[in-house]
């Protein structure tokens, strides 16, 4: 590529930086309101409880499973969970009215079932007399006091309502569950079949990805029936000889080549460390859109990659800090690839800070990386890159949640399946700046019906040497209605709309209607 390909920043991104800084700052307003609201003491979310196990913790508490309490002891008790009165327990199964995607390229991970903030190790089970569907399906957010499992583990911090495709089954100790003294294992997952009807040309038939809209293609329709989002997972937990809890989780779906099994998660956790493949630390799983479509939006980060992560939590789980070294993926624009090859000289470094309040959660993540490009027959040239991701959710009412996020950076396009850098001219390349945002609303109509509305947009500040058909802007809209006739089945319908605008300002759009059917393992 001439004598050398150099990397340089776009001056336009200086303005973007100020804009994003203002927007991220504005996200903190609801959090500040919580701290100053009426002098009421802070009550950490039970679902976000992060107290480490006590020295006298039982095996059940460490594993996140329950010991059965004799009936003659239950009837005399009333339990208090984070300020919420619970009725006396009628049988060995705890009553709890609380409740809590992965896309083909994005989104699942949380196995709530024990309560580290209560005086006993409690967890939701079947047979909840207050809710015929048990704690796994609730008509509200449970006053933000649902019990979780595995208080010793870091990936148990999401709280949602009804059916959610961004997490694992809520009830660790039920269903296909095995236990023997110091170890326990749960087999989970679901079968999901999707019927898609496209009214406009789009090349991604199994998921709705606006980047695949072929601008200028002749009109066409398409129908597709598949079950590739079906998932299976295994979650094993045990106590080491030293008394420390360990966890190993593996999950796959069928988005591999030719509908073969694809690895989604495979990691182990010990103490404050996670090692293996799971959600990148740049992701905020609890703030992801809950769509039937596996892509979900064009702005959030839903990537899973191999990593070593350290997590530290304090102030009763109000604050959580994470830092990781992760596998890097560097991609170059097609035009630039003709002059050389993208290289990954270093892993990505990510840090994040998460803050939780009674009715919400807010997170800021920072990514730092080094991009490499090797011109044909020459040495690798390096360039710095990085970005910020501000995300959060806030419960407007017990049944209505507002969520969203803003992603900004330079050379982070690969985190959204776009190029990190592109050609400027015959002798130079440029690291591409981009900005994206999404917002949505989830509402639980009652115990069986729920809806989600989400809109997102992502823009790229293109380089001068990119082809006219290079992506400049993507938009994505989804609205759905999901019905759960029983705790283990669901039927949903979703309308999807998307647009793609290229560098030459040509625009294409697509519309899809999909119907999904699912069967959940208990």
**What would the pLDDT profile of 115-128 be if each residue is shown by its tens digit?**
333 333 323 322 23
- Averaged pLDDT for residues 31-42: 41
pLDDT of 132 strictly over 90: no
The answer to the question of residue 7 being in a domain is no
Q: In the structure encoding, which two tokens stand for residue 114, read together?
A: 């024990």
What is the structure's pLDDT at 179?
A: 87
User: Any residues with CB less than 8 A from the CB of 264 and at least 6 apart, and which?
Assistant: 102, 108, 231, 251, 252, 253, 277, 304
Range of the domain at 205: 12-520
What is the structure's pLDDT at 75?
A: 36
What is the structure's pLDDT at 367?
A: 98
What is the structure's pLDDT at 104?
A: 39
Q: Minimum mean pLDDT among 113-127, 226-240, 409-423: which range?
A: 113-127
pLDDT of 465 strictly over 50: yes
Q: How confident is the model at residue 230 (pLDDT cuts 50, 70, 90)?
A: very high
What is the structure's pLDDT at 43?
A: 33
CA–CA distance, 175 with 177 (Å, rounded to integer): 5
Q: In the structure encoding, which two tokens stand for residue 457, read together?
A: 């947009």
- Averaged pLDDT for residues 476-504: 96
Q: Minimum mean pLDDT among 16-30, 243-257, 288-302: which range?
A: 16-30
- Averaged pLDDT for residues 463-468: 92
What is the structure's pLDDT at 409?
A: 97
What is the structure's pLDDT at 62?
A: 52
- Averaged pLDDT for residues 19-28: 45
Among 326, 345, 305, CA closest to 7 = 345
What is the structure's pLDDT at 401?
A: 93
What is the structure's pLDDT at 231?
A: 95
The answer to the question of residue 182 being in a domain is yes
The answer to the question of residue 19 being in a domain is yes
* Integer CA distances (angstroms), 151 to 7, 156, 277, 399, in order: 46, 8, 21, 26
Q: How confident is the model at residue 481 (pLDDT cuts 50, 70, 90)?
A: very high
Q: In the structure encoding, which two tokens stand for residue 471, read together?
A: 């992506």
- Averaged pLDDT for residues 344-369: 95
The answer to the question of residue 392 being in a domain is yes
CB 346 within 8 A of CB 309: no
Identify which has the larger pLDDT, 161 or 101: 161
- Averaged pLDDT for residues 89-106: 34
**Partner residues linked to 291 by β-bridges:** none
CA–CA distance, 291 with 493 (Å, rounded to integer): 10
Kind of pairing between the strands at 80-81 and 84-85:
antiparallel
- Averaged pLDDT for residues 378-406: 94
Identify which has the larger pLDDT, 224 or 99: 224
CA–CA distance, 383 with 372 (Å, rounded to integer): 6
What is the structure's pLDDT at 150?
A: 44
What is the structure's pLDDT at 37?
A: 43
CA–CA distance, 151 with 62 (Å, rounded to integer): 7
The answer to the question of residue 184 being in a domain is yes
What is the structure's pLDDT at 113?
A: 32
What is the structure's pLDDT at 110?
A: 37
What is the structure's pLDDT at 377?
A: 87
What is the structure's pLDDT at 44?
A: 33
What is the structure's pLDDT at 274?
A: 96
Kind of pairing between the strands at 433-444 and 449-460:
antiparallel
The pTM for the full model equals 0.76
Identify which has the larger pLDDT, 27 or 154: 154
Q: In the structure encoding, which two tokens stand for residue 9, read together?
A: 């920043």
Domains identified in the chain, total number: 1
Phi/psi at 21 (5° precision): -60, -40
CA–CA distance, 8 with 405 (Å, rounded to integer): 27
* % of the chain surpassing 90 pLDDT: 55
Q: How confident is the model at residue 163 (pLDDT cuts 50, 70, 90)?
A: confident
What is the structure's pLDDT at 242?
A: 84
Chain mean pLDDT for the chain: 77
Which single residue is written with the structure tokens 């984070």?
82
The answer to the question of residue 434 being in a domain is yes
pLDDT of 24 strictly over 90: no
Q: How confident is the model at residue 244 (pLDDT cuts 50, 70, 90)?
A: confident
What is the structure's pLDDT at 83?
A: 34
Burial class of residue 219 (count of CB atoms within 10 Å of its CB; 0-12, 13-18, 19+): exposed
What is the structure's pLDDT at 6?
A: 53
The answer to the question of residue 194 being in a domain is yes
CA–CA distance, 453 with 494 (Å, rounded to integer): 10
What is the structure's pLDDT at 241?
A: 84
- Averaged pLDDT for residues 277-305: 93
What is the structure's pLDDT at 320?
A: 93
pLDDT of 477 strictly over 80: yes
pLDDT of 490 strictly over 70: yes
Q: How confident is the model at residue 212 (pLDDT cuts 50, 70, 90)?
A: very high
> At 253, which CATH number?
2.40.160.10
Strand segments (E) across 140-299:
176-180, 183-198, 222-226, 231-239, 245-253, 262-270, 273-279
Among 511, 510, 518, 521, CA closest to 213 = 510
The answer to the question of residue 465 being in a domain is yes
Handedness of CA 279, 282, 284, 288 (dihedral sign): negative
What is the structure's pLDDT at 155?
A: 60
* Integer CA distances (angstroms), 237 to 41, 177, 181, 225, 304, in order: 34, 11, 11, 37, 21
């Amino acid at each position: 590529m001439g004598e050398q390909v150099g990397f340089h920043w776009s001056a336009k991104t200086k303005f973007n930086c100020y804009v994003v800084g203002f927007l991220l700052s504005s996200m903190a307003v609801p959090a500040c309101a919580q701290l100053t609201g009426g002098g009421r003491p802070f009550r950490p979310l039970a679902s976000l409880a992060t107290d480490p196990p006590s020295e006298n913790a039982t095996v059940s508490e460490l594993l996140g499973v329950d010991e059965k309490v004799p009936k003659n002891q239950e009837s005399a008790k009333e339990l208090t969970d984070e300020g919420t009165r619970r009725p006396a327990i009628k049988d060995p199964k705890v009553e709890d009215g609380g409740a809590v995607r992965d896309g083909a390229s994005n989104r699942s991970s949380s196995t709530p079932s024990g309560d580290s903030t209560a005086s006993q190790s409690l967890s939701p089970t079947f047979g909840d007399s207050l809710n015929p569907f048990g704690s796994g399906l609730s008509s509200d957010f449970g006053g933000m006091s649902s019990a979780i499992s595995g208080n010793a583990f870091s990936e148990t911090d999401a709280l949602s309502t009804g059916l959610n495709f961004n997490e694992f089954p809520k009830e660790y100790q039920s269903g296909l569950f095995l236990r023997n003294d110091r170890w326990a294992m749960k087999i989970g997952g679901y079968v999901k079949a999707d019927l898609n009807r496209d009214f406009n040309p789009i090349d991604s038939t199994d998921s709705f990805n606006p980047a695949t809209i072929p601008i200028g293609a002749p009109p066409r329709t398409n129908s597709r029936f598949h079950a590739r989002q079906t998932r299976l997972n295994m979650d094993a937990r045990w106590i080491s000889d030293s008394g420390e809890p360990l966890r190993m989780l593996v999950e796959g779906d069928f988005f591999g080549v030719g509908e073969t099994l694809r690895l989604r998660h495979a990691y182990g956790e010990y103490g404050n460390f996670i090692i293996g493949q799971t959600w990148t630390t740049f992701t905020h799983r609890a703030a992801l859109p809950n769509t039937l479509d596996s892509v979900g939006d064009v702005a959030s980060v839903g990537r899973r990659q191999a990593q070593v992560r350290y997590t530290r939590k304090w102030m009763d789980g109000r604050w959580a800090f994470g830092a990781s070294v992760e596998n890097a993926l560097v991609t170059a624009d097609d035009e630039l690839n003709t002059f050389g090859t993208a290289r990954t000289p270093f892993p990505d470094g990510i840090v994040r800070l998460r803050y939780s309040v009674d009715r919400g959660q807010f997170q800021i993540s920072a990514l730092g990386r080094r991009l490499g490009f090797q011109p044909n027959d020459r040495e690798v040239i390096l360039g710095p890159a990085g970005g910020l991701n501000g995300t959060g959710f806030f419960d407007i009412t017990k049944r209505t949640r507002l969520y969203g996020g803003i992603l900004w950076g330079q050379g982070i396009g690969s985190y959204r399946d776009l190029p990190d850098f592109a050609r400027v001219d015959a002798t130079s390349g440029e690291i591409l700046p981009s900005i994206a945002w999404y917002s949505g609303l989830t509402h639980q109509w009652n115990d069986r019906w729920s809806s989600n509305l989400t809109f997102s947009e992502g823009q790229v500040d293109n380089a001068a040497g990119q082809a006219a058909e290079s992506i400049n802007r993507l938009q994505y809209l989804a609205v759905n209605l999901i019905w759960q006739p029983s705790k283990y089945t669901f039927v949903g319908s979703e309308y999807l709309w998307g647009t793609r605008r290229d560098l030459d300002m040509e625009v294409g759009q697509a519309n899809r209607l999909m119907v999904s059917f699912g069967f959940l393992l208990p």
